[in-house]
């Protein structure tokens, strides 16, 4: 009797649903899409019929970490140019200098070869599929992994010959084929004394080649991420702008000699609309060039160290110097110093009425009081982090500090705090004023009130305890059906913030990243 077989159309529909975030990318959807990657890897190993559709989605996001990955990826796009049109997200994330490649056991125990078999290369060295912090799906053998690599038509034995046309910079001048042998200096501020170190040129040469060769091929690239670069080489500033279709630039764990170098890079991307800054470092005072042509729509900044106060000041001064802020729709920003409040106040006044998404956090609850926003501001999504020392006893004080930020246009309100385990019993009396304010008739659009618990101390609180506590603390919001509680849970070895509905007969839940992603997709389509 012949075994039944699902129609290929059904299989492809399943694969499409797994990769829904990749099919409809928005500014922050790629964080959600990471969750689909392990399953897409598994789909590509089921059978030959499943490979094309899985490959179609896997190539939407590509991360390059080594010379071999870069050469193999360039080789693939050179011999199959149509596949370059699939790439929408590119992350260049080199391994730290002198760090050994991860062991085979660290990638997946199922990839360990038998004692009698030949040793296999690690998947992080030979695979040009998107590399994310997930294990290769198990069970999987070394032979099946090799078949998967062949299925995407990547041959690591072929050498890419791309030297027929000498590379040129944006100005048309020939670009050298490698970084000078002297390397580049970097000021190391991690020690008590300032030390100048040199990054070996071989560490950058493959990145240099990627930046020279890929721009003509990746005609649909919309998001570019540079991550884990110990220093931003000056020549990169001339090459990155060759990606003329890039609409969002993410710079993470990156060092630069000055903030002006970063702004030079930003100013040279003609289609840029979104910026993502995370843990950047620079030495010299802010000296940046005016950004007259930049029409920024999204700015997400993540700096949580007291040493970052000067950097936040530089970013705020640069924002204030922009000629046009009328298109800024979303802003995520830390307030690390009292002086930041007045500078941000000036920026927010210029964003009216376009600003819809605002995410602020600070160690000082009084900083929020000075953010006197225009009455014409129509926020739809407000995310606030309260200092742990102020929760929950100072919730009435906090409510008065942010009352001017609560506009009738609010649809999502997220209030987060660290370390509330010892204070859960005091929540009902502390949240009463907030509950009364948010159930006022003028907040008819408010659909999500999320109380977020952050930190390891609340991870073990069971769901029913949280439901009972917050039903008593916010009874009016509970009756309206808008109340959710979010906490950090561990998923596949990673912490994820998930929100649960308070009603006992409602099992709905979602990650906070998905909530933001859903908002951005809805707002952009609207």
Q: Looking at residues 174-189, what average pLDDT do you find?
A: 43
Strand partners for 453? 417, 487
Domain span holding position 142: 8-64+123-151
CA 465: distance to chain centroid?
Answer: 32
Residue 416 belongs to a domain: yes
Q: What is the pLDDT of residue 282?
A: 84
Residue 483 belongs to a domain: yes
The answer, yes or no, to whether residue 147 has pLDDT greater than 60, is no
- In order of 340, 405, 445, the CA distances from 282 in angstroms are 19, 33, 43
Q: In the structure, what pLDDT confidence band is assigned to residue 286 with cuts at 50, 70 and 90?
A: low
Among positive and negative, which fits the CA dihedral 500, 502, 507, 508?
negative
Distance CA 57, CA 12 (A): 11
Give the three-state DSSP class for 366.
helix
Q: Looking at residues 387-408, what average pLDDT do you find?
A: 63
Structure tokens given for 312: 């936040």
Pick from 403, 425, 427: nearest CA to 483? 427
Q: In the structure, what pLDDT confidence band is assigned to residue 174 with cuts at 50, 70 and 90?
A: very low
Give the E-state strand segments of 52-127 in sequence order: 61-64, 89-92
Residue 310 belongs to a domain: no
Query: Which is more confidently placed, 234 or 327?
Result: 327
Q: Which helix (H) or strand (E) holds 523?
A: helix 512-525
Residue 506 belongs to a domain: yes
Q: What is the pLDDT of residue 6?
A: 74
Among positive and negative, which fits the CA dihedral 392, 395, 401, 402?
positive
Q: At what angle do helices 309-321 and 259-267 cross, to 10 degrees?
A: 40
Q: How many C-beta atoms lie closer than 10 Å to residue 393's C-beta?
A: 13
Q: What is the pLDDT of residue 305?
A: 61
8-state DSSP, 103:
P
Q: How many C-beta atoms lie closer than 10 Å to residue 244's C-beta?
A: 13
Please provide the average confidence, as pLDDT, over all residues in the chain. 70
Structure tokens given for 67: 């010379």
The answer, yes or no, to whether residue 91 has pLDDT greater than 60, is yes
Distance CA 168, CA 376 (A): 48
8-state DSSP, 369:
G
The answer, yes or no, to whether residue 123 has pLDDT greater than 60, is no
| Boundary of a domain, candidates 106, 134, 151 | 151
The count of residues in the chain is: 526
Pick from 145, 143, 169, 186: nearest CA to 284? 186
Residue 385 belongs to a domain: yes
Q: What is the pLDDT of residue 375?
A: 61
pLDDT digits (tens, 9 = 90+) for 454-479: 766 677 777 788 888 888 888 888 88
8-state DSSP, 285:
P
Q: What is the pLDDT of residue 512?
A: 81
Q: What is the pLDDT of residue 249?
A: 92
Instruction: Please tell me the pTM assigned to this model.
Output: 0.74
Residue 499 belongs to a domain: yes
Strand partners for 90? 62, 224
| Boundary of a domain, candidates 134, 151, 168 | 151
Structure tokens given for 487: 């906490």
329 neighbors 297 (Cβ within 8 angstroms): yes
Pick from 297, 292, 208, 289: nearest CA to 248? 297
Query: Which is more confidently placed, 505 or 134?
Result: 505
Q: What is the pLDDT of residue 97?
A: 57
Structure tokens given for 346: 């000036």
Burial class (CB in 10 A: 0-12, 13-18, 19+), 67: middle
Give the three-state DSSP class for 85.
coil
Q: What is the pLDDT of residue 333?
A: 86
The answer, yes or no, to whether residue 31 has pLDDT greater than 50, is no
Pick from 386, 331, 322, 378: nearest CA to 359? 331
Q: Enumerate the H helices of 188-305 as residue ranges.
A: 202-213, 234-239, 259-267
Residue 370 belongs to a domain: no
290 neighbors 313 (Cβ within 8 angstroms): no
Q: What is the pLDDT of residue 137?
A: 31
Give the three-state DSSP class for 41.
helix
| Boundary of a domain, candidates 110, 134, 151 | 151
Total tally of structural domains belonging to the chain: 2
Angle, CA of 29, 268 and 259, to the nearest 5°: 85
Residue 173 belongs to a domain: no
Rg (CA), the chain: 25
Q: What is the pLDDT of residue 511?
A: 78
8-state DSSP, 49:
G
Distance CA 510, CA 525 (A): 21
pLDDT digits (tens, 9 = 90+) for 156-170: 333 333 333 334 444
Q: What is the pLDDT of residue 191?
A: 42
Q: What is the pLDDT of residue 201?
A: 59
Distance CA 365, CA 397 (A): 9
């Amino acid at each position: 009797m012949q075994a039944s077989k699902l129609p290929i159309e059904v299989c492809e529909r399943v694969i499409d649903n797994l990769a829904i975030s990749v099919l409809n990318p928005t500014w922050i959807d790629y964080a959600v899409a990471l969750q689909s990657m392990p399953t897409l890897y598994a789909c590509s190993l089921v059978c030959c019929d499943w490979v094309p559709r899985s490959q179609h989605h896997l190539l939407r996001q590509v991360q390059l970490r080594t010379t071999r990955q870069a050469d193999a990826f360039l080789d693939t796009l050179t011999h199959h140019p149509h596949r370059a049109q699939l790439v929408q997200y590119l992350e260049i994330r080199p391994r730290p200098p002198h760090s050994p490649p991860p062991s085979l056991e660290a990638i997946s125990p199922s990839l360990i070869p038998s004692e009698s078999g030949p040793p296999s290369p690690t998947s992080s060295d030979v695979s040009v599929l998107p590399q994310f912090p997930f294990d290769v799906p198990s069970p999987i053998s070394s032979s099946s992994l090799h078949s998967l690599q062949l299925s995407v038509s990547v041959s690591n034995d072929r050498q890419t010959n791309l030297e027929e046309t000498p590379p040129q910079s944006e100005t048309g001048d020939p670009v050298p084929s490698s970084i000078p042998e002297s390397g580049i200096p970097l000021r190391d501020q991690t020690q008590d004394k300032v030390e100048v170190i040199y990054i070996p040129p071989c560490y950058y040469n493959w990145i240099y080649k990627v930046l020279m060769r890929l721009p003509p091929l990746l005609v649909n690239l919309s998001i570019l991420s540079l991550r884990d670069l110990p220093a931003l080489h000056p020549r990169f500033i001339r090459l990155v702008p060759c990606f003329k279709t890039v609409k969002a630039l993410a710079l993470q764990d990156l060092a630069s000699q000055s903030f002006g170098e970063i702004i030079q890079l930003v100013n040279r991307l003609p289609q840029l609309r979104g910026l993502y800054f995370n843990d950047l470092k620079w030495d010299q005072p802010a000296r940046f060039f005016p950004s007259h042509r930049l029409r920024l729509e999204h700015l997400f900044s993540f700096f949580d160290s007291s040493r970052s106060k000067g950097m936040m000041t530089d970013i705020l001064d640069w924002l204030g110097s922009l000629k046009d802020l009328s298109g800024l729709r979303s802003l995520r920003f830390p307030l690390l110093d009292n002086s930041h409040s007045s500078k941000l106040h000036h920026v927010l006044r210029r964003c009216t009425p376009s600003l819809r998404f605002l995410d602020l956090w600070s160690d000082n609850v009084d900083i929020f009081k000075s953010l006197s926003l225009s009455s014409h501001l129509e926020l739809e999504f407000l995310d606030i982090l309260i200092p742990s020392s102020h929760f929950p006893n100072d919730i009435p004080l906090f409510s008065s500090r942010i009352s001017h930020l609560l506009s009738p246009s609010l649809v999502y309100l997220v209030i987060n705090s660290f370390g509330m385990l010892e204070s859960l019993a005091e929540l009902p009396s502390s949240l009463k004023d907030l509950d009364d304010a948010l159930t006022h008739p003028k907040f008819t659009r408010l659909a999500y009130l999320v109380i977020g618990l952050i930190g390891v101390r609340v991870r073990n609180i069971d769901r029913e305890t949280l439901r009972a506590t917050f039903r008593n603390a916010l009874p009016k919001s509970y009756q309206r059906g808008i109340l959710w509680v979010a906490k950090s849970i561990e998923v596949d070895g990673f912490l994820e913030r998930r929100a649960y509905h308070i009603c006992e007969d409602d099992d709905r839940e979602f990650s906070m990243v998905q909530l933001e992603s859903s908002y951005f997709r809805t707002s952009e389509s609207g």
